[in-house]
């Protein structure tokens, strides 16, 4: 068993502030994009992208585009473009798959000029999760790929790669799911912790209540303490997520899988989290695509369903739903010409109101017709869309201030994170906890369920812990350390 996936070596630079402007530029489809820097008047822009599905983009703290990437189904490769819409230096032959949510950009913690691009690559039925590292200080500030196709894990990755800030406001959680052929029923999540130093081996959690299908999507609640999982087999299930320790717990299943009854494609919560929007994709010719709204506060959520829109397949095929910086939800559909069928890339002549516009839910916190869904109402300036919209995380998400995991600032007497040393960490058998400037009064270790699994009262400046004696399994734990100068929380990782 690997002890650590990869140690990232570099100078640690203090964290810089990141605003919502980092999600201000969307790039997607056939050279399409939207500039949200003026949220009251988003405007269409043009790009160098030509992809049917997965895309990601990131801007700087004042909203200027830094770079973007997309996966190309035709070549199973990922392409990275800089802010001038030219291919980024050393970005050739990066792995890809050609699905819809297979990419995500994560800023490297404590290194404001370094960025990870995580992606899945297709090698037969055994896919691999990869990352590339981009340094925006190079090539005159346009960036350059300095590492690429670094393997993290080898398994078939489902089409729902996502990321969310750790509760400390600095680190990140990368979340993926298992897809399988033939299909298994693990319903397995992989949760990777990304710190300034490392990408750690995943916390693996199985729920054994759904198939591990390729096409499934994760939609985050605006509080980021829960998410909804939907898939093509009709599953709609809401899970709680702990940003402190990476644990996932099942909250409720709204729809169990029922093949043929519904095929959920993509989804989005409303900004207040009370309503849920999901689209159903047509499977056979003559079927309808549907855009649905559910009331998550209703006693009977399935019965609260309101059909906002339907379109016929062929002609249209349901695509991505995304909550945008302007507080509206945008809806993409692919154009499927009758008698021609799915055709990627579009020919120059394949133009329609379907692929030259996005639908918009203008008031997504309002029930029923009050949500003001306007189909095919946002004109893309002559550019075209397919199924995808950017898979960008919330870069503005801050720490859970005052929580046990806000390890960057939880002290009562100026106790700082680097005054407490845990070594080695990750640990196999024994580790030592040391406080540089005083005594450790007590120490407690909690598992992913929040249960206390170890406690020691102490009056010295260090504590030795034998993990074999306290029977800690492999995984991530939270350590609460009380000193004579305050309390601090740190993560402990147990390896095999």
Residue ranges of the chain that CATH labels 2.60.40.3080? 417-494
Cis omega (within 30 of 0) for bond into 345:
yes
Would you say 336 and 317 are in contact if contact means Cβ atoms under 8 Å apart?
A: yes
Would you say 49 and 31 are in contact if contact means Cβ atoms under 8 Å apart?
A: yes
Would you say 473 and 486 are in contact if contact means Cβ atoms under 8 Å apart?
A: no
Would you say 213 and 233 are in contact if contact means Cβ atoms under 8 Å apart?
A: yes
Question: What is the reported pLDDT for 452?
Answer: 80
Q: Which DSSP string do the residues of 429-444 spell out, in sequence order?
A: SEEEEEETTS-EEEEE
- Radius of gyration of the chain, Cα coordinates, nearest whole angstrom: 23
Asked whether the predicted pLDDT for residue 16 surpasses 60, the reply is no
Interval 408-434 mean pLDDT: 70
Phi (first) and psi of residue 377, to 5 degrees: -110, -15
Q: Which residue from 139, 110, 102 is spatially nearest to 15, judged by alpha carbons?
A: 110
CA distance linking residue 113 with residue 249, whole number of Å: 35
Taking the model in full, what pTM does it have?
A: 0.81
Which CATH number is associated with domain 417-494? 2.60.40.3080
Which has the higher per-residue pLDDT, 405 or 103?
103
Which CATH number is associated with domain 6-379? 2.130.10
267-305 per-position pLDDT tens digit: 999 999 999 999 999 988 899 999 999 999 999 999 999
The secondary structure of the chain in percent helix, strand, coil, rounded to multiples of 5, reads 5, 45, 50
Cis omega (within 30 of 0) for bond into 182:
yes
Question: What is the reported pLDDT for 182?
Answer: 73
Q: For 338-384, what is the HEC assignment? A: CCCCCCCCCCCCCCCCCCCEEEEECCCCCCHHHHCEEEEEEECCCCE
Residue ranges of the chain that CATH labels 2.130.10? 6-379
308-323 per-position pLDDT tens digit: 999 999 999 999 999 9
Asked whether the predicted pLDDT for residue 493 surpasses 90, the reply is no
């Amino acid at each position: 068993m690997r002890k650590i996936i990869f140690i990232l070596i570099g100078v640690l630079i203090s964290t810089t502030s990141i605003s919502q402007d980092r999600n201000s530029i969307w790039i997607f489809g056939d050279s399409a994009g939207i500039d949200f820097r003026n949220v009251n008047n988003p405007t269409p822009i043009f790009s160098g992208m030509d992809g049917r599905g997965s895309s990601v983009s990131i801007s700087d703290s004042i909203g200027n585009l830094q770079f973007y990437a997309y996966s190309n189904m035709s070549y199973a490769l990922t392409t990275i473009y800089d802010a001038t819409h030219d291919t980024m230096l050393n970005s050739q032959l990066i792995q890809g798959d050609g699905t819809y949510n297979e990419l995500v950009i994560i800023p490297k913690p404590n290194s404001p000029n370094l960025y990870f691009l995580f992606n899945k690559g297709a090698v037969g039925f055994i896919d691999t999760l990869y990352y590339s590292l981009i340094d925006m200080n190079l090539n005159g500030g346009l960036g350059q790929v300095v590492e690429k196709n670094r393997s993290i894990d080898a398994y078939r990755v489902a089409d729902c790669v996502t990321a969310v800030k750790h509760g400390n406001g600095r680190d990140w959680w990368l979340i993926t799911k298992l897809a399988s052929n033939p299909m298994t029923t693990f319903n397995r999540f992989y949760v990777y912790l990304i710190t300034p130093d490392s990408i750690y081996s995943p916390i693996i959690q199985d729920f054994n209540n759904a198939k591990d299908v390729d096409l499934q999507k994760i939609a985050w609640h605006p509080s980021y303490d829960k998410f909804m999982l939907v898939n093509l087999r009709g599953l709609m299930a809401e899970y709680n997520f702990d940003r402190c320790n990476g644990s996932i717990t099942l909250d409720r299943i709204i729809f169990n899988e029922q093949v043929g009854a519904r095929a959920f494609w993509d989804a989005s919560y409303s900004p207040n989290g009370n309503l849920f929007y999901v689209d159903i994709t047509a499977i056979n010719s003559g079927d309808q695509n549907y855009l649905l709204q559910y009331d998550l506060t209703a006693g009977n959520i399935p019965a609260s369903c309101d059909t906002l829109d339907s379109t016929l397949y062929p002609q249209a095929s349901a695509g991505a739903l995304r909550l945008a910086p302007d507080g509206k939800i945008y809806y993409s559909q692919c154009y499927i010409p009758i008698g021609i069928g799915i055709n990627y890339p579009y020919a120059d002549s394949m133009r329609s109101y379907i692929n030259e516009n996005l639908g918009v839910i203008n008031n997504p916190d309002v029930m029923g017709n009050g949500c003001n869904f306007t189909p095919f109402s946002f004109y893309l300036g002559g550019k075209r869309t397919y199924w995808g919209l950017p898979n960008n995380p919330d870069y503005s998400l801050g720490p859970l201030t005052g929580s046990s995991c806000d390890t960057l600032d939880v002290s009562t007497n100026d106790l700082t994170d680097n005054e407490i040393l845990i070594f080695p960490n990750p640990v196999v058998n024994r580790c030592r906890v040391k406080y540089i400037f005083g005594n450790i009064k007590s120490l407690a270790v909690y598992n992913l369920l929040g249960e206390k699994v170890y406690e020691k009262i102490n009056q010295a400046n260090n504590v030795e812990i034998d993990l074999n004696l306290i029977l800690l399994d492999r995984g991530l734990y939270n350590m609460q350390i009380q000193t004579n100068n305050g309390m601090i929380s740190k993560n402990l990782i147990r390896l095999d």
